[in-house]
Amino acid sequence: MLYRETGQFKTSYKADMAVFPIRQDRIGLAIILLLAFVAMPLFGGGFLLSAVMIPLLVFALAALGLNLLTGYTGQLSLGTAGFMGVGAYACYKLTTFFPEVNLIVWILASGFFSAAVGVVFGLPSLRIKGFYLAVATLAAQFFLQWCFIRIPWLYNNNVSGAIEAPVRTLFGMPITGPHATPELRYLVVLSIVALLTWIASNLVHGRIGRSWMAVRDMDIAAELMGIRLLPTKLLAFAVSSFYCGVAGALMVFLWYGSAEPEVFSISQSFLILFMVIIGGLGSLIGSFLGAALIYGLPIVLKSLFPMLGLSVGAATVEHITFMVVGAMIIGFLIVEPHGLASIWRTIKQKLRVWPFPY
């Protein structure tokens, strides 16, 4: 009953083409934004903000970027972490070269560097498809990581071989470094993620998104309809890497505070890919849900053990967490192979016909 579209008529194509054509969805979104922007920083607390929410948003952004490439355009990529690294290192270099310029500008600008690198490694996608394409992106992953280790210029010759986020401010308040409050860091991350999500939603709902999906679903037919494959795929690589790059910069500057090249390792790439898949390929919401599941679930599970009054060693908790997460991933897939976003859609569908079963 709550979820009824009856009576909501669209009188213009404009209204019908809105991203959220249904009123309840718009209200829901408003509530979520309100919670995220107001309630969370007010009541969240340090641990929730810095150890849960910020990482989650960063991962969601990276997953969103990868989703544009893999979910929307159908190009499998295993180089996500590498592209994130490019963003992080680019931002690091930029902000050490031009410390006066606001960090936010550089965080966004660093995305362009990873976009450029993404395009280069996207070139083989014209000829190579599917799992085979993974090798091109793997080459990117390993080559980039090697560069992060091997080119001292990238990390300003630091003895530790790591990059450290220098202290930068926004409106006179520190947003990086030890004095930055979790609330402020969270809000900065959230704003950037929200902005980029909005842009992504614009892209995928328009001509570009349609060409991407066309290439994904049936590339030959797309080509026969005048969609040129290479530019379309490369654009997807560029946009996707842009997102990953920004996520990488956010990760180092507003979350970790400093990072070794090891942070951008292949396992991170896989992790993000799995967030995308479990969240739902080709779904923006899915990226957030996937990040929440894969990153958040272990944290929740871990805190569950003490709550249940079980005292088991930290290692055993970890083992069991691994097993449970693994089992849950499989379970979710069995319930709904097309990801959490699809479960979400089914629930909406059920709500729509409620109280009837179908």
Partner 1 sequence: QDGKDANFVPLFTYRTGPFSGSGIPIANGMRDYLEMLNQRDGGVGGAKIVIEECETGYDTKKGLECYEAVKGRNPVMVNPWSTGITLPLIPRAAVDKIPVLSMAYGLSASADGQTFPWIFNPPNTYWDGLSVIVKHIADELGGLDKLKGKKIGYIYLDAGFGKEPIPMFEQFAKDLGFELKLYPVAATDMQNQSSQWLGVRRDKPDYMVMYGWGALNPTAIKEATRINYPMNRFISIWWPSEDDARSAGAGAKGFRELNWHGVGTDFPVLKDIQKHVVDKGLSKVAKGKEGEVLYNRGVYNSMLIAEGIRNAQKLTGKKAVTGEDVRRGLEAINLTPERLKELGMEGFTDPLKLGCADHNGHGAAFVQEWDGEKYVKIGGPIKPMEDKVGPVAAAAAKDYVEKNAGWPKRSEACDSK
Partner 2 sequence: MNGLALFSRRDDSVAKGEPLLTVENVSLRFGGVKAISDVSFDIRKGEVRAIIGPNGAGKTSMLNVINGFYHPQEGRISFRGQTRRRMRPSHAAAQGISRTFQNVALFKGMSTLDNIMAGRTLHMKRGFFWQLWRHGPALDEEIRHRRVVEEIIDFLEIEAVRKTPVGKLPYGLQKRVELGRALAMEPDLLLLDEPMAGMNLEEKEDMCRFILDVNNAFGVTIALIEHDMGVVMDLSDRVVVLEYGRKIADGAPDEVKASQAVIDAYLGVAH
Partner 3 sequence: MDSSAAPAPPGEVSREAGRDVILAVNNIEVIYDHVILVLKGVSLEVPRGGVVALLGGNGAGKTTTLKAISNLLRAERGEVTRGSIMFQGERVDRMSPNELVRRGCIQVMEGRHCFGHLTIEENLLTGAFTRRDGAAAIRQDLEKVYGYFPRLRERRKSMAGYTSGGEQQMCAIGRALMSRPALVLLDEPSMGLAPQIVGEIFEIVKELNASENVSFLLAEQNTNMALKYATYGYILETGRVVMDGDAEMLRANADVKEFYLGVSEGDRKSFRAVKSYRRRKRWLT
- What are the backbone dihedrals phi and psi of residue 98, each rounded to the nearest 5 degrees, phi first? -125, 75
Per the CB < 8 A criterion, the answer to whether 204 and 212 are in contact is yes
| Binding site partner of 70, from partner 1, partner 3, partner 2, none, Cβ cut-off 5-8 A by kind | none
Rounded to whole angstroms, the Cα distance separating 180 from 30 reads: 28
Is residue 20 at the binding interface for partner 1, with CB under 8 A as the rule?
Answer: no
Is residue 261 at the binding interface for partner 1, with CB under 8 A as the rule?
Answer: yes
- Site for partner 2 (CB under 8 A): which residue of 226, 309, 355, 357? 226
| Binding site partner of 346, from partner 1, partner 2, partner 3, none, Cβ cut-off 5-8 A by kind | partner 3
| DSSP structural state of residue 334 | H
Rounded to whole angstroms, the Cα distance separating 343 from 118 reads: 32
Is residue 11 at the binding interface for partner 1, with CB under 8 A as the rule?
Answer: no
Say which residue the tokens 């951008």 belong to.
Answer: 264
Is residue 210 at the binding interface for partner 2, with CB under 8 A as the rule?
Answer: yes
Is residue 277 at the binding interface for partner 2, with CB under 8 A as the rule?
Answer: no
Per the CB < 8 A criterion, the answer to whether 199 and 242 are in contact is no
Amino acid at 149: I
- Helical axes 182-205 vs 207-217, angle rounded to 10°: 70
- Site for partner 1 (CB under 8 A): which residue of 315, 334, 356, 357? 315
First to last CA, the chain: 14
Is residue 8 at the binding interface for partner 3, with CB under 8 A as the rule?
Answer: no
In the complex, the smallest distance separating the C-beta of residue 3 from partner 3, rounded to whole angstroms, is 13
- Give the x-and-dash track for 311-350 against partner 3 (CB under 8 A): --------------------------x--------x--xx
In the complex, the smallest distance separating the C-beta of residue 208 from partner 2, rounded to whole angstroms, is 5
| DSSP structural state of residue 154 | G
Closest by CA position to 113, among listed 238, 23, 200: 238
Q: Which stretch binds partner 2 (CB under 8 A): 10-18, 52-60, 306-314, 316-324?
A: 10-18
Query: Which C-beta is closer to partner 1: that of 201 or that of 258?
Result: 258
Is residue 358 at the binding interface for partner 3, with CB under 8 A as the rule?
Answer: yes
Is residue 195 at the binding interface for partner 2, with CB under 8 A as the rule?
Answer: no
Q: Which stretch binds partner 1 (CB under 8 A): 42-50, 185-193, 211-219, 339-347?
A: 42-50
| Binding site partner of 51, from partner 2, partner 1, partner 3, none, Cβ cut-off 5-8 A by kind | partner 1
The region that residue 258 occupies, defined by phi over 0 for left and psi between -120 and 50 for alpha, beta otherwise, is beta
Is residue 206 at the binding interface for partner 2, with CB under 8 A as the rule?
Answer: yes
Instruction: Give the start-end residues of each E strand in the chain.
Output: 163-164, 169-170, 173-174, 258-259
- Give the x-and-dash track for 139-158 against partner 2 (CB under 8 A): --------------------
Q: SS3 string of 196-252? A: HHHHHHHHHHCHHHHHHHHHHHCHHHHHHCCCCHHHHHHHHHHHHHHHHHHHHHHHH
Query: Which C-beta is closer to partner 2: that of 46 or that of 206?
Result: 206
Is residue 156 at the binding interface for partner 3, with CB under 8 A as the rule?
Answer: no
In the complex, the smallest distance separating the C-beta of residue 314 from partner 1, rounded to whole angstroms, is 4
In sign, the C-alpha dihedral spanning 344, 350, 353, 354 is: negative
Per the CB < 8 A criterion, the answer to whether 50 and 182 are in contact is yes
| Binding site partner of 235, from partner 2, partner 3, partner 1, none, Cβ cut-off 5-8 A by kind | partner 2
Q: Which residues bind partner 3 (CB under 8 A)?
A: 337, 346, 349-350, 353, 358
